[in-house]
Structure 1
Amino acid sequence: MLKYLGYFSTSFTIAIVMWPILSAVLTLPILAGLYHRHHRMKLLSAGAAYLTVLYVLGLIAFTLYPMPDDPEAFCAANAGQFAPQLDPLRFISDIQNGGLSGILQLVMNVVLFMPLGFVLTRWLRWRWWAVLIGGFAVSLFIESSQLSGFWGLYPCAYRQFDVNDLMTNTLGAMAGLAVAVLFGKWVPMARMPERSEYNEHPGAVHRLVTFIIDMVFVALVYVPLTLLVTFLFYWAAEPLQNGDFMLFGGHLTVGVGWLDFLAPIGASLAFLIFEFLIPLGHKGRTLGGMYTHMTIETKPRKGIARAVFYILRTLIMGAMVVMFIIGFGHNAHIMHYTFYGFVILFLFAVFAHRMPWDFVPGSSVAPAPSVPVYGAADVAAAPAESSAANAHSDKEGAATVAGDDAVPGAPDSDAASKGAVNTKNTGDARAEGDESAATNPNTVGQDEK
C-alpha cells in the first residue's frame, strides 16, 4: 500500500495545499459578478460561493487525483489492473464480500454527489430532469477521464472505470435535489434587496473584491510600463566594464540600481490614478467600484474634510501596496508584514463596519424646508402662474359642461342649453332652465360661444 501511494505523493500534496487557495482565487470573479448584479450581498452568501467552488475543486481532486508522478513506472507496475467494470449488479457481490467496507464505498459515492444536486437545485434553479442529466454527465466525465488516463495525458488508466460509480453518483445528485427541496420549504430563498445606484455602505467583502479589481488595473498599467522602460534602457545603453551603462553617446553614465525603484514608482503613479484621481472625480467610485456598484465615500464631505479623507486613504493604502511590491521583489519579510497589515484592515472593516478613514467627519447638510421659500423672482412669477392655473381650470370647467351636454341624462344645471334648442318645452321648464343658467356662469359662457 505504501509503495502504491509512493507513486502519487508529490501531486497529491500539491493538490491538498493548492485546493483552498485556488478556491479563493476562483471565487473572486463569482463575487464580482454577484455584486455587479445585486449591488450588495450578505457575508453568508459570499461564504456559500466559496464553499461551492471549494466543493467543485474537491470533487475534481478526489476523483481524478492523485495522479502518478512517474507514469511510465506506474503503468509498468500496474499493467492490466484497471480494466473497466461494466457489470451494473457488481455492487451486490461487493457488499457480500466486502461487508461494511463495501457498503461504505457505495454510501460515500452517494454522499460525494449530494452537494452537486443541492447546488444545481437551490442556487441554479435546475429542474429535476436537468439535475439527473447533469449529475450523470459529471460522473461520466470523471469515470471516462480515469479510463482514458486523463484523456491521453498518461499512457494508461490509473484508476478504474466503474459503472456502479455512475449509478451511485447520479443517485447522490438526486438525493441532493431532494434535500434542496426540503430545505427550501424550511428556509425559502430570500429576495434580494432593491438595487440602488451604488452602495454607500459596503461591507468588508465588497470592499475587498472591489480593491482586488482595482489592483488588477494597477498591475495592468505598471507592469507593462516597467518592462517597456527596462527593455528600452538595455536596448539604448552601452555596457561598460565596471558594470555601469553609457547613454547618449557617453554624455550620461548610470548604474542599474535605479531599475530597482522603477516598479515601485510605476505602481505608485498607477495607484494615484486609479485610487485617487478617478474616485475623486466620480463621487468615490473607482473602476472596480463602478463595476460592483459601490463608493468609498460613505458620507458626504466637502472642502478640507474631503481632502483629509482622500489623503489618509491614499497614504495608508498606497504605502501598503508599494511596500508589498518592494517586498515581493527584494524582501520577503516586508511582503509578509504588508500582508498582515491588509489582514488587519480587513478584520477592522468586518468588526467596525467601516475603514479608519471613514471616521473623518462628513459635511453637515441642512434638511429641505417643508414650506417653499420664495425669492424675489419667485414672488413675481407666482401671480402669473396662479392666473395661468385659474385660466386652465376655467377651460377645463367649460369643456366639462360642453361634454356633459352631449351625454344622455345630463344634470338639470344644463337645462338652459337644452331649452334653447328644444322649442317644445313648457314655459315652466324654460324658466327653470334660465334660473339654472344664471347660477352657472361657465354654462352661460359656453352657450354664448
Structure 2
Amino acid sequence: MFQSYLFPISYAFMTFPVAALFFTLPFLIVQYRRHGYINKVRALVLYLLLLYLMNAFYLVMLPLPASRHNLPKLGGALQPIPLQFIQDIMRESNIVGSEPSTYLSLLRERAFLQVIFNVLLMVPFGMFLNYYFRARWMVCILLSFGLSLFFEVTQITGIYGFYDYPHRVFDVDDLIANTLGGIIGYRIAEWISGLLPRIEQLDQSVDLGAKRVTYTRRGIAFMIDGGICMIGTGILYVFELPFAYWIATGIYFILLPYFTNGRTLGKWIVRIRVSGSSEHVTLRMLFVRYGLLYWVFFGLHVLLLEATMNQSIPAAGLLILQILVPILQLSGIIHLIIRMFKKNPVLLYEQISRTSHTISWPDHSPGLAINQ
C-alpha cells in the first residue's frame, strides 16, 4: 500500500520545478510590493507550501484512468455515511477487544491505514495556516474542510467533466479525517512555534536602505517595461509613424520617469525608481541614461533589423551593423557578468548618467540611495 503513494510523491517532485518557475514571478512581485525585499525564510516557507499542495493534490488524484472514457466504479462513487470507516475497520480486521496484542494488526489493515493517511495528509496544511498565515483555529477548520471538499468534488466530477465517470469515491469520512488532520497540524505548529523564527518579526530589524536593488528585481521591471514599450512601438508602426521605436522609448523611458520621479510601470510594480544626485532625477540624466541604453545599444539592434527587412541602407552600412551589433552584444554580456560579481555593480550607462536605482518605499525618503 505504501508503494502506491510513492508514484504520486515522485511525480510531484518531478513537476515541482515547472510549477516553481510559474510561481516565482508573481511571488517576487508580491514580496517586493508587500515587504520591499525577499526574505529567505519567507521564500522557503512559501515554496514548501507549494510543494506540499502539489504532493497532496497528486496523492488524492493519481493514478488517473488510462482513458477519458472510463467505466463507472463498482458500488458507486459516493459514500455519504459519516464514520463508515469504523465498520470497515471492524469488518476487515482481526482485532479482539479483550486482547490488546491483536491491536497491532491494525497497522496492516487497508481501512485503518486509509484513515491515518487522510489525517496525515492535512497536518502540514494546518501547520502552514498557523505558522505562516497566523490563521485562527476556526479559519483553520473552514479552510481544511474547504481544501478537502475541493479534492472530493474534483474526484466525483471526473476532474470537472474531463472523464466520463468519477475515478475516485466521494467519501464523507475523508472530509472528516482531512479536517481533523488540519486541526492537529494547527496544534502542532503552536507547540513548535518557539523553535522557529516568528514570521511577523522577520522584517523588524530589516533596513531597506542597506539593501541593494538586485538584478533580479531590475530584470522583472525590465521585462514588464519592455513588453509595454514593444506594444507601443507596434501601434506606432501600424500608423506608419517614422522613428516609431525612438519615439516610443523616448516617451516611456525618458518623459514618463521625468514626470513620475524616476518610475515606469515596471519599476512601480517592484517598488524601485531611478534616482540621481538630487532628490528629483533630471531630464538630462534620464536622456543620457536611457539614450545610451535604448537609443544606442538597443537602437543599433533595431536599425539592423529594419535594414535587413527593408534594405533601407547601403550594403556597406548593413555590413558595418552586422559586425558592430554582435560585438556590442558580447561586450554587453561580459560587462553585465563582471558587474554582477562586483560589490557595487553599477553598469556603464549608469556611471555616465550618474543615476542609480532606489527602493521606492513609503517609509523611506524618496532620495534614499540604495547600492546597485
Shorter chain as normaliser: what TM range? 0.5 to 0.7
Aligned partner of 1:63 among 60, 63, 72: 60
**1:147 equivalent in alignment to 2:156:** yes
Deviation digits for residues 263-286 of structure 1 (CA, Å, limit 9, x no counterpart) = xx9777655544454335544322
Cα deviation, residue 17, structure 1: 7.1
Any unmatched runs of 5+ in structure 2?
1-7, 94-103, 307-328, 356-372
User: Does residue 279 of the first structure (1) align with residue 273 of the second (2)?
Assistant: no
Greater displacement, 179-188 / 152-161:
179-188
Structure 1 residues 216 and 280, CA gap change in structure 2 (3 angstroms): same
Aligned equivalent of 1:422? none
List aligned pairs for 1:40-189, cutoff 5 A: 40-65=37-62, 67-68=64-65, 70-72=67-69, 74-75=70-71, 79-80=73-74, 83-85=77-79, 86=81, 87-89=84-86, 90=88, 93=92, 96=105, 99=108, 106-186=115-195, 187-189=197-199
Structure 2 partner of 1:36: 33
How many angstroms does 1:168 deviate by? 3.3
Distance 1:201 1:357, change over 3 A: farther
The structure whose Rg is larger is: 1
Partner-residue secondary structure (3-state), 1:295: strand
Q: In 2, Cα distance between the equivalents of 1:267 and 1:17?
A: 43
Task: List runs of 5+ in structure 1 lacking aligned partners.
Answer: 1-8, 234-261, 327-337, 365-449
Does the aligned pair in 2 maintain the 1:203–1:353 contact within 8 Å?
no
Looking at structure 2, the residues matched to 127 and 191 of structure 1 have their Cα atoms a distance apart, in angstroms, of: 20
Deviation at residue 177 of structure 1 after TM alignment: 1.5
Q: Please state how far the C-alpha of 1:131 moved relative to its aligned partner.
A: 0.4
- What corresponds to 1:424 in structure 2? none
- Relative contact order (alpha carbons < 8 A, sep ≥ 6): 1 or 2 greater? 2
C-alpha RMSD over aligned residues = 5.2
- Which residue, out of 322, 340, 351, partners 1:360? 351
Letter in structure 2 aligned against 1:160: V
CA contact (8 A) 1:36 1:291 kept: yes
Name the residue aligned to 2:229. Answer: 218
Give 3-state SS (helix, strand or coil) of 2:170's partner. coil
Q: Which amino acid aligns with 1:284?
A: G
| Aligned mates of 1:69, 1:272 — CA distance in 2 | 56
Report the Cα offset of residue 295 of structure 1: 1.8
**TM (normalized to structure 2)?**
0.59
Q: CA deviation at 1:139?
A: 0.6
Q: What aligned pairs does 1:372-411 form with structure 2 within 5 A after superposition?
A: none
Residue 291 of structure 1: aligned partner: 269
Contact 2:158 2:164 in 1 (8 A): yes
Which letter maps to 1:60?
F
Q: CA deviation at 1:161?
A: 2.6
Superposed CA offset, 1:101-154 (max 9, x none): 777655544443233222322232210121022112211221122122123342
Measure how far apart 1:308 and its partner are.
5.4
Q: Is the Cα contact below 8 Å between 2:78 and 2:169 reproduced in 1? A: yes
Q: Size of the alignment, in residue pairs?
A: 303
* Partner AA of 1:129 in structure 2: M
| C-alpha contact (below 8 Å) 2:107/2:113 kept by paired residues | no
Q: Mean alpha-carbon deviation: is it higher for 113-122 or for 50-59?
A: 50-59
Listed one character per residue, the Cα deviations across residues 413-433 of structure 1 (whole Å, up to 9, x for unaligned) are: xxxxxxxxxxxxxxxxxxxxx
Residues 139, 170 of structure 1: 8 Å contact kept? yes
Equivalent AA in structure 1 for residue 152 of structure 2: E
What is the one-letter code of the residue matched to 1:152?
Answer: G
